[in-house]
Amino acid sequence: MEQRDQPIGVFDSGLGGISVLRACVSLLPRENFLFFGDSANAPYGEKSLEQVRQLTMAAVDRLLAQHVKAVVIACNTATSAAIGLLRQAHPNLPIIGIEPAVKPAAQAQGSSSVIVMATPLTIREDKYQKLAATFCHEADVISLPCKGLAEMVESGIFSGPALDTYLQELLLPFRYCNVDYIVLGCTHYPFVRQAIARNFGRPVSIIDGSDGTARQLRRQLELTGLLTTRTGPGTVIFQNSRSDKLSMSQMLFQMAY
Ligand code: DGL
């Protein structure tokens, strides 16, 4: 098979990256996609930097063994921990990472205050700290580590009292603050977007980085001459380090949020 007709690998610590996969499929419907979720090792956001680096390198090797032409790291945590190492290890492979959408939120007209929800590891990492510092003169950037939230999504909790209680406690300190944007800085969180909006209790714009990542993927494929020449629709294959997560992967791929 010609290289440009090979699949695009998409990787996440678990099921969250399916939110990014969806954006990629809708922008590039003729491409074939191979999604690998490492649910057996999720959550990455509460592991050490070294553990996340090793797991991410291994996941990319697994995708490469299946001849992907490009890799999307559909995980903010894995991107912040390992994107530099991955690019060093695979200099000829287009590797697209995701980062919290702080820039569009901070630069939006009239935006003065932005909450960034992300995993503890993403927020601790230098990559995120530099990103937040770059835009802190355009808006107040409030970094909010959300320990346990990706795990809830991973276990299929998208609504209900446990999630409501968690979110109310997390968001309570901001109830009377003038917050314009909530940035979903973890790819699991779009699946609980409605619960976040409801429990915030006031109108707020909520954004994530999926569309920007999909556009970056298309740009990279254009630049490297790797866009498929197929004319019919592409395919999507799900793989997971926990086989019991495959049916939920399909469900999340279709779920409205
Ligand atoms: N989905 C991942 C992210 O975007 C992290 C979830 C996890 O902690 O494994 O950061």
- Per-residue pLDDT tens over the stretch 49-72: 999 999 999 999 999 999 999 999
Strands 140-145 and 113-118: parallel
**Average pLDDT over the chain, rounded to whole?**
97
Nearest residue CA, atom 7 of ligand 1? Answer: 43
- pLDDT band for position 132 (cuts 50, 70, 90): very high
72 Cβ partners below 8 Å, 6+ apart? 8, 9, 10, 11, 17, 20, 21, 24, 96, 97, 98, 213, 217
Query: Is the minimum distance from the CB of 19 to ligand 1 under 6 angstroms?
Result: no
Q: Catalytic residue at 146?
A: no
- pLDDT band for position 21 (cuts 50, 70, 90): very high
- pLDDT band for position 220 (cuts 50, 70, 90): very high
pLDDT exceeds cutoff 90 at 1: no
Instruction: Tell me which residue of 67, 69, 73 sits closest to 86, measured CA to CA.
Output: 73
Q: How far apart are CA 193 and CA 190, in angstroms?
A: 5
What value does the mean pLDDT take over residues 21-33? Answer: 98
95 Cβ partners below 8 Å, 6+ apart? 60, 70, 71, 73, 83, 86, 87
In sequence order, the β-bridge partners of residue 114 are 141, 181
From the candidates 24, 136, 177, 186, which is the catalytic residue? 186
Q: Ligand 1 pocket: which of 10, 19, 75 to mutate (most atoms <8 Å of CB)?
A: 75
Phi/psi-derived region of residue 208, left when phi > 0, alpha when psi is between -120 and 50, beta in every other case: beta
What value does the mean pLDDT take over residues 138-155? Answer: 97
145's enclosing H/E stretch is strand 140-145
pLDDT exceeds cutoff 90 at 257: no
Cα–ligand 1 centroid distance for 130 (angstroms): 19
Cα–ligand 1 centroid distance for 150 (angstroms): 6
pTM over 0.75: yes
12's enclosing H/E stretch is strand 8-12
Cα–ligand 1 centroid distance for 85 (angstroms): 18
pLDDT exceeds cutoff 90 at 205: yes
What value does the mean pLDDT take over residues 136-152? Answer: 97
Instruction: Tell me which residue of 55, 177, 72, 77 sits closest to 122, measured CA to CA.
Output: 77
- Residue 222 has what pLDDT? 98
Q: What is the pLDDT of residues 67-121, one digit of tens each?
A: 999 999 999 999 999 999 999 999 999 999 999 999 999 999 887 899 999 999 9
Residue written as tokens 């779009």? Answer: 190
Query: Is the minimum distance from the CB of 145 to ligand 1 under 6 angstroms?
Result: no
- Residue 176 has what pLDDT? 85
